[in-house]
Structure formats: C-alpha cells, structure tokens
Chains A and B, each alone.
Chain A
C-alpha cells in the first residue's frame, strides 16, 4: 500500500462500506478503509476529525459502526464477517474508544487555545476578522505561526507550575467525629488520601497491592485507622496487621536517616558537643541512646517522639520528591531526608560563602564609590575662545593711538549738548523709510505697513484723536512758567476740563473696542 508509513494498530477484513467489500485499517492517527483488490484508501479520517462513534444496537442483524465527524458527515462501516463480525466490531470500537479521547483533547485543546488567543488579544482578533473571515489568507496559514509559539509557551508554563506541598497536619485534620454509639467517623477527602500516599509510600504500596482485589477502599482505610500503625503509641507490634510491615519499613527509614546525619554544618547540633581528647581534657560523652534501661513510660515517650520526627521528615521529603519518580518506590524511604540535597552542595567554597553571608551585612560595609580617572587637560585656553574666527586685527600704531586720543580729548573739552540740532530732517526721513516695511532694514520681515493692517476708519479716528491731544498738550505746556494769573486760571480750570473731556472720550472708545471683541 502506498504511503503506509504509519503504524497499523488493527486490521479488520471483510468490512463493507457503501455496499463495497474491503478492509478497515486503524492506524496511530487515522482510520482508513480501502476496497478489496485496490491498493489505496478511499475513506480516511483522522481521529482528530472524528467527533464520536456509534454502534448499532445489540439485537440488530447488521453489525455496524458509524463514525460521526466534526463537520457532521458520517461514515458507516458494516462488519460482514459471518463468524467474527461482533468481535471485530467490538475490537474496533474499543480501540477507537481508547484513541479518540487522545485526539479529541488535542483538537479541543487547539480550538480552545485559538479561542483564548483571539479573546485575549483584540488586535489579533481584528486581524483574524480582516484576513481570514474575508478570505485573504486561510485559517491554517494564520494559525501556522501563532500556534507554534503558543504551544511552547504552554509547555513551559506547565513545567513551571508549582508543586502543591503537603500540609504537615494532614493527619490531624481528619478529625474523627463521634458516631453517637461508641464509634468514630473519619472523613477522608481525596486531598488527604493523596497526602498520605505521598508522605508514606509504603502505605501507597499496600493500597496498590490490596485494593481492589482483596479489600474495598473502605475496608482498607478502616483497617488503616484501626491499626496501631496509625495510633500514637506503636508498642504492640506483635499483631498481625497489614501495616506491621509498614511500621518496620518506617523504622528502617528512620535509622538510615539518623545514620546519614546532618551535613549542613550550620544546623548540625551534634558537632557542638564536647569532644574529649583524654581524661582530664573535657568530659566523656556517654552513649547517646540506650534503650535497655528505660522505663515503660520513657519508651512510649521516645516512641512518640520518634514517630513525630519521622512524620515531619517524611512530609518534608515528600515535598522535595518529584511526582514523576513515583515508580521508584523501594528506594524512596532511604533517600527521604531533607538534607541529602544539602550534602551534595556543601563543598568548601560554598560553605565559605554561606558563612560570610551569615556574618556580614551589606549596609555596614564601607562605601566604595566608582573609581574615577581624573581629567588632565594640557591646553585649556582653547576653551575660552569663542567661535570668533581669527580675524586680521586692525592694528593701530602707537602714533595713531596717541593722535586719536588727543583728538577726542580736544573735542570733548568743548562739548556742549545741543539737543535741538541732533539731526536733519532728511536724515531722519531716510532712516524712517529704511525702517518702514519694504525698506532696507525690513527685507525679511512682514511686508505690510501698519496702514494696511489697520482698517481706515480706525486710522482716521486715531489721527483725529492724536491731533486733538497734541493741541491740548501744546496749550498745556505753553502755560509754563506760570507768570500771570490768567495762565494759572487757564491751567487749573480750563485745561483740566478739556483734558478730562478728552480722557472720557478715550475711555468711551476703549469700552466700545472691548465690547466689540467680546
């Protein structure tokens, strides 16, 4: 068969499709059917495209399997082998049942992902609408680049998910309630069960062994709580209990932990004890534990303490242990102490760093500012020159200097200000033309004269006002010096009235202007 590079999971002969005999092939990613004698598939569907499968009911003569695709199409296969039709069909159905969910999730996941992306990013959504909905590019091309990115993101984010830890009090949280008639009721949630399994892999092992073959779940847990394994004082280990093995394993684990000892010198309390060299050089340390001569009470106390320590150690270890190493259960108890990690990392240089960290504070160090190099300038008179290029300096001989100075001194010695003849009217008018718009000095400026900017009626009004004011002022100044009472009277009463009248007029005009503006 051409293009049969896929792995074939199931082959069913004598399957009819549309009244044609053929063979049904179930491969890793698709289901295909080819008519007999021909070497190509006429029907091929990816599992991802299949929405669901349907089978004909039990009693019916025709044994059929129908595949319904997402698009709504359906394909029906009729299993026509006389003897094994039912079996074939069931085998196909089972396989499909197993395979379809995998692909379904993927399809759904992809669709979900796409939807999520479109919802989150309005720009993307707009782009999608513009390009795909109006058929500029196909949806596959659109998602070709984007989905790759999103899948990698998803993967990394999955890995970065934090592991949920175990509450140390998970056993205590169970909180047995009295049943009313001398019994106890324990409420077990899946969380608690999971915690128990993670902390005590031995119990998990027992569970796997016994449930559901030998005991029901309820029974298992009942036995668990009844066993002295669970109870505080584990003295009676003689009873034939499911969990006596667990107890022994726990003891072993605990012993191995103690043997490993503490590697982190910061936390190692044993190293702080006195060590003797010889008699007279310090005290002898007696044997640390001696089980033989203890009383019953002491024994039970030590048992409780032992269990307590063991429980804490297991909880910590379960947190460190990764979920995917659950297959390796046998060696778990030996490697469950929390400071195995520390021991790997406690090489001498790191130890030094840790010690330094513990004893030094950054804030207390001397401040070392950034090292700077001083600037050394050789010729700094260059900076004081402005952008004044070297010009040929107008050199004056000393004779020149002396003669000019004497000249000016002469002139100034007989200087008398003559302010009435500062300049001639022709000079003044030529200066004015130069300064008017369009004149020699105004070439680059505005070319409109004031007479063009201001409307004519305002200009004439201004002219009238100016001449009138000039006339009044002339009268005013001509009264000075006040020699005659006539002038005095003129000044005080007359002129004042006139000036007041002029001022009122101006005020009115200004008001008018302001009204116009607003």
Chain B
C-alpha cells in the first residue's frame, strides 16, 4: 500500500503529429485524434482520482517545424474558483477543459513549412524530464513516470539525443512507458528496457482507453503484483557504419571504435592502417617439364 505521503507524478506525452493523424483520419474514420484524446483524458482523470496526492502533467509533442509544446501541470491542491457544470470533481473538469482548449489552439496555429514530417520525440521527453525535475527540486519526494503515446514512426536523426534523454531518465529513476499505435519503435523499446517501464504495441486502436487503464494506470510498485504483458525482446545489435546493416559479429577499429561489417585495411573514419596476418599461401610446386627425347 502506498503511503499517503508519496506523490506519484504521471507525465503523458501524446504524439499529435497532424500529418499522421490526418492520414489516419482518412484511413480509419472510427479512430481519430479526438477519440485518442478522449482516451487520454480518461486515463488522466483516473490517475488523478486514484490518490489525492497524485499529480499529472500533459505534454503534447509536435513536429519538427513548429516547436510549440503544450504542457500543463495539474495538482489537486490548486482549487479552482469556478465550479463545474455537471457535478464533476473540479480538478477533472478543469483538466479536461484545458486540454481540449490547448489542443484546439495548437492545431489552429499550425502552418505547413517544409517537408519534414517527423515527431520531435527526444525534445518532448527532455521537456518532460525538466518538468519532473522542477517539481522534485521544489522539495517533494516524488515517484515519476512518463507515458508516451506514439503514433508516427521513429526518426533516425534523433538517436543521440534520445539516448541521452533515456540515460538521464534512468539516472533520475523515472520510468518510461510506451504505448505504440502504429509501427514498432526500436528507440522506445530501448527506453522502456533501460528505465524499467512497459512497452506495448496495441492491436486495436479503438480500445486504446482499455489498454491504457489496464496496463499503464498502475504505478511501478503495484505492477509487481499484477499479471501484465511480458517485456519485449529488444534488438540491441549494432549497425555497421558502412551500410547501416544490423550485424552480430563485426570489426571494430581500435582507434575510433567505429564498427564495420567487413575488414578493410584502412579505417574510413580515422584513416588508421591495419594489418591482419593472412594465412600462408602454399606455393604450388612447379613441375619440371620433361624434355622430349
């Protein structure tokens, strides 16, 4: 049983990449961004209601040409002045209204610039870590976790930043859970493996709320007592520097540590020359030609 003093902070990072969602709306009209946001709100409300001391923050990530994030921190101790219209717990209604409004604003402001369609995942994770840290430094003892709801595909350019963020999260004892809607994300698999969170790829998008409540609502202590989906096998193979193929056995330059799938006498990154002793060649014996008599 969690003690009353423990504060549990949940940060939900929602991927609202308009291009992907727009295409999704055309592909599958029964599950659109509105439905997704509804499910997220249900999850958020449940979390706030679980324990009085629970806190919530929501960050919507956006794509690369517009660095606008939306983030808000909801605390049960902030008692809003206005009452609710339908008898709902005020905090919940405030939260829901705020989320809806901000998303609408965000979408209205967006303008198409350029061709890049990637989601800014590393940046948003970094921002959520900063948010967590800010609250931690305020002197409260908190257990925090981040739930990432991912729609679009991975962006290979963000790899380094992403890994840095993951290790920072690990240091801070922050769990990263991932709920993936469309295609498997290797980066998020690694993130969940390293920080100790859960990774789940959902087979049915319309039942998103059920998955969120079942798998991602309990916090880390409670998860040990529940029967949850087992961890995914993460592919930790390295990619060779020349072809970007995933390899199991390769050659590593001892100077610059770059990985290659084939041996080459000169490392193309640092231009060091290497020699490997080749097996000795057996010289074929020359047969003496018999002089014709």
B285 within 8 A of A: no
Asked if B156 contacts A422 (CB within 8 A), the reply is: no
Question: A424 to chain B: which residues have CB within 8 Å?
Answer: 206
- CB-CB nearest in chain B for A453: B227
A267 within 8 A of B: no
- CB-CB nearest in chain B for A434: B203
Could you list which residues of chain A lie within 8 angstroms of chain B, going by C-beta atoms?
Answer: 375-380, 382-390, 394, 396, 398, 400-409, 411-413, 415-419, 422-424, 427-428, 430-432, 434-435, 437, 440-442, 444-446, 448-450, 480-481
The residue from B153, B207, B228, B230 contacting A423, defined by CB atoms under 8 A apart? B207
Question: B32 to chain A: which residues have CB within 8 Å?
Answer: 411
Instruction: Report if A400-B23 is in contact (Cβ < 8 Å); known contacts: A375-B255, A387-B246, A422-B38.
Output: yes
In the complex, how many angstroms separate the beta carbon of A419 from the nearest chain B beta carbon?
A: 6
Asked if B100 contacts A407 (CB within 8 A), the reply is: no
Interchain residue pairs with CB less than 8 A apart (30): A375-B255, A376-B270, A378-B269, A384-B159, A385-B156, A385-B159, A386-B156, A387-B186, A387-B236, A387-B238, A388-B159, A396-B115, A403-B22, A405-B110, A407-B22, A409-B108, A412-B104, A415-B33, A415-B100, A419-B38, A419-B42, A419-B45, A423-B209, A432-B210, A442-B230, A444-B230, A445-B228, A445-B229, A450-B227, A480-B87
Against A, the Cβ 8 Å flags (1 = close, 0 = not) of B1-25 are: 0000000000000000011111101
Question: B214 to chain A: which residues have CB within 8 Å?
Answer: 431-432, 435
Asked if B210 contacts A415 (CB within 8 A), the reply is: no
Asked if A389 contacts B239 (CB within 8 A), the reply is: yes
Asked if B207 contacts A408 (CB within 8 A), the reply is: no
Asked if A417 contacts B37 (CB within 8 A), the reply is: yes
Instruction: Report if A428-B207 is in contact (Cβ < 8 Å); known contacts: A389-B245, A400-B19, A423-B39.
Output: yes
Question: B117 to chain A: which residues have CB within 8 Å?
Answer: 396, 401
The residue from A378, A402, A431 contacting B268, defined by CB atoms under 8 A apart? A378
In the complex, how many angstroms separate the beta carbon of B251 from the nearest chain A beta carbon?
A: 14
The residue from A376, A386, A396, A406 contacting B163, defined by CB atoms under 8 A apart? A386
Could you list which residues of chain B lie within 8 angstroms of chain A, going by C-beta atoms?
Answer: 18-23, 25-26, 32-35, 37-39, 41-42, 45, 87, 96, 99-100, 103-104, 107-108, 110, 112, 115, 117, 153-154, 156-157, 159-160, 162-163, 186-187, 200, 203-204, 206-211, 214-215, 227-230, 235-239, 241, 244-246, 255-256, 258, 268-271
Asked if B239 contacts A379 (CB within 8 A), the reply is: no
Asked if A387 contacts B41 (CB within 8 A), the reply is: no
In the complex, how many angstroms separate the beta carbon of A28 from the nearest chain B beta carbon?
A: 57
Asked if B244 contacts A390 (CB within 8 A), the reply is: yes
Question: A423 to chain B: which residues have CB within 8 Å?
Answer: 39, 206-210
Asked if A398 contacts B115 (CB within 8 A), the reply is: yes
Q: How far is the CA of A227 from the CA of B210 in the complex (A)?
A: 121
Question: B34 to chain A: which residues have CB within 8 Å?
Answer: 411-412, 415
Q: How far is the CA of A437 from the CA of B230 in the complex (A)?
A: 10
Q: How far is the CA of A399 from the CA of B256 in the complex (A)?
A: 44
Q: How far is the CA of A428 from the CA of B255 in the complex (A)?
A: 56
Asked if A407 contacts B25 (CB within 8 A), the reply is: yes
Question: A435 to chain B: which residues have CB within 8 Å?
Answer: 211, 214-215, 228-229
Q: How far is the CA of A440 from the CA of B154 in the complex (A)?
A: 25
In the complex, how many angstroms separate the beta carbon of A138 from the nearest chain B beta carbon?
A: 48
Q: How far is the CA of A289 from the CA of B235 in the complex (A)?
A: 97
The residue from A396, A402, A419 contacting B96, defined by CB atoms under 8 A apart? A419
- CB-CB nearest in chain A for B247: A387
Asked if B227 contacts A437 (CB within 8 A), the reply is: yes
Asked if B255 contacts A440 (CB within 8 A), the reply is: no
In the complex, how many angstroms separate the beta carbon of B178 from the nearest chain A beta carbon?
A: 14
The 4 closest A-B pairs by CB, nearest first: A404-B22, A386-B159, A445-B230, A431-B207
Question: A394 to chain B: which residues have CB within 8 Å?
Answer: 153
Asked if A379 contacts B229 (CB within 8 A), the reply is: no
Question: B154 to chain A: which residues have CB within 8 Å?
Answer: 388
Q: How far is the CA of A383 from the CA of B159 in the complex (A)?
A: 10
- List 18 additional contacts besides A387-B239, A401-B117; criterion CB under 8 Å: A383-B258, A386-B156, A388-B239, A400-B23, A404-B21, A404-B23, A407-B22, A407-B26, A408-B18, A409-B107, A412-B108, A415-B37, A417-B96, A423-B207, A431-B207, A432-B210, A435-B229, A450-B227
Question: B38 to chain A: which residues have CB within 8 Å?
Answer: 417-419, 422
Q: How far is the CA of A212 from the CA of B260 in the complex (A)?
A: 92
Q: How far is the CA of A383 from the CA of B240 in the complex (A)?
A: 10
Instruction: Report if A422-B269 is in contact (Cβ < 8 Å); known contacts: A396-B19, A411-B34, A480-B87.
Output: no
Q: How far is the CA of A214 from the CA of B47 in the complex (A)?
A: 119
Instruction: Report if A422-B87 is in contact (Cβ < 8 Å); known contacts: A400-B23, A435-B211.
Output: no
In the complex, how many angstroms separate the beta carbon of A378 from the nearest chain B beta carbon?
A: 6
Question: A375 to chain B: which residues have CB within 8 Å?
Answer: 255-256, 270
Question: A386 to chain B: which residues have CB within 8 Å?
Answer: 156, 159-160, 162-163, 186-187, 239
Instruction: Report if A388-B186 is in contact (Cβ < 8 Å); known contacts: A407-B26, A415-B103, A442-B229.
Output: yes
Question: B21 to chain A: which residues have CB within 8 Å?
Answer: 404, 408
Question: A383 to chain B: which residues have CB within 8 Å?
Answer: 160, 258
The residue from A376, A385, A412, A449 contacting B107, defined by CB atoms under 8 A apart? A412
Question: A444 to chain B: which residues have CB within 8 Å?
Answer: 230
Asked if B19 contacts A422 (CB within 8 A), the reply is: no
- CB-CB nearest in chain A for B226: A450
Q: How far is the CA of A380 from the CA of B244 in the complex (A)?
A: 14
Question: A387 to chain B: which residues have CB within 8 Å?
Answer: 186, 235-239, 246
- CB-CB nearest in chain A for B83: A481
The residue from B41, B204, B236 contacting A417, defined by CB atoms under 8 A apart? B41
- CB-CB nearest in chain A for B158: A386
- CB-CB nearest in chain B for A418: B38
Asked if A377 contacts B270 (CB within 8 A), the reply is: yes
The residue from B87, B115, B204, B270 contacting A427, defined by CB atoms under 8 A apart? B204
Question: B41 to chain A: which residues have CB within 8 Å?
Answer: 417, 419
In the complex, how many angstroms separate the beta carbon of A374 from the nearest chain B beta carbon?
A: 11
* B115, B229, B237: residue with the most chain A Cβ atoms closer than 10 Å: B229
